Homo-oligomer: A and B are copies of this chain.
């Protein structure tokens, strides 16, 4: 059955791979699944056809036969449950990998998205300069805890899993801020993720769209 995902017609990051379709592409590449991409404009994302797929008007979405999903975490979980490459075989280890998926998207990404709000959505506000260090410290607190748990391991819990896929993807958002450089073990962890052939294929696929000349 053909898998079709949606992605930005033009990603706001200009092809840095931070749009969430890259996370789903990466999961599909790890699982060795072919997929098609339907590009949507910012305008189309808020129209009825797309809202039927994702009521919050975001990308990515996932269609496979008569199944339609949204939410990156749910899509990656769906892929990981059905194909080898993203979850360990042991049931307890699999439950822990799912824990890391939620930890990435809730506990770790939350202050990172606050940082995006400070810089973009509220980048013109008079409180920007005073708020930025507060939010950066919230990010650092999470990174400290994450680095303590990772220790000198390659991945968060044994072999690479969908939990690492999402955690690396979340941490990648921090690279422009310089905060990741303060945590060498996490920086190396992210680099290990980026070095995976499946990530590189996913990154190249989104770049090919976003680096192309405007239509």
Contacts and interface: CB of A to CB of B under 8 A. Distances in A.
The size class of the interface chain A forms with chain B is 35 or more
7 contacts: A56-B142, A56-B145, A66-B92, A71-B99, A74-B98, A75-B99, A77-B98
A66 B93 CA distance: 11
A214 interface: no
Given A55-B145, A74-B103, 18 more contacts: A55-B146, A55-B148, A56-B142, A56-B145, A67-B92, A69-B95, A71-B103, A72-B102, A73-B102, A74-B99, A74-B101, A75-B99, A78-B98, A114-B114, A122-B131, A125-B130, A126-B127, A127-B130
A125 B125 CA distance: 14
Interface in A46-75: 51, 55-58, 66-67, 69-75
B107 A71 contact: yes
A127 B146 CA distance: 30
A160 to B, nearest CB: 18
Interface of A: 51, 55-58, 66-67, 69-75, 77-78, 92, 95-96, 98-99, 101-103, 105-107, 109-110, 113-114, 117, 122, 125-127, 130-131, 134, 142, 145-146, 148-149
